[in-house]
Amino acid sequence: MAQVFVCSGDALADGEAIKVDASVEAIAVFKVNGELFALADRCSHGNASMSEGYVEDDGTVECPLHAARFCLKTGDALCQPATVALKTFPVSLVDGKVYVDVPEA
């Protein structure tokens, strides 16, 4: 695994997301109620960026194109039209900086 720098911890506000281009794939990093989550950025149903989706306080994100919802903790698809879960990635806050762990290419 390799750690990819995302941003400083205070650069990501609660309820927001940021897209990170990692060597393996693009990853969306979310902050909800002070907790950090990371998912594959591409919706499993269509060609949409999850970092541009609607982040909800209940720990879900809605695809900006087709309204499919995903659990930020597990990546599970919660409603149609998506049926395939999104890959999740470990995310951490180290010395005030946000990092995502990604497989090495």
Q: Which domains does the chain have, with CATH numbers?
A: 2-102 (2.102.10.10)
The structure's pTM equals 0.93
Dump pLDDT digits (tens) for 6-63. Answer: 999 899 999 999 999 987 789 999 999 999 999 999 999 888 999 999 999 999 999 9
Q: Which residues contact 67 (CB under 8 A, 6 or more apart)?
A: 79
Q: Is the pLDDT of residue 105 over 70?
A: no
What's the confidence (pLDDT) of residue 13? 94
- Joined together, the tokens standing for residue 26 give 């693009």
Q: Which amino acid is at 102?
A: V
Beta bridge partners of 72: none
- Joined together, the tokens standing for residue 95 give 């010395």
Secondary structure (3-state) at 1: coil
Measured CA to CA, the distance from residue 18 to residue 10 in angstroms comes to: 13
What's the confidence (pLDDT) of residue 76? 98
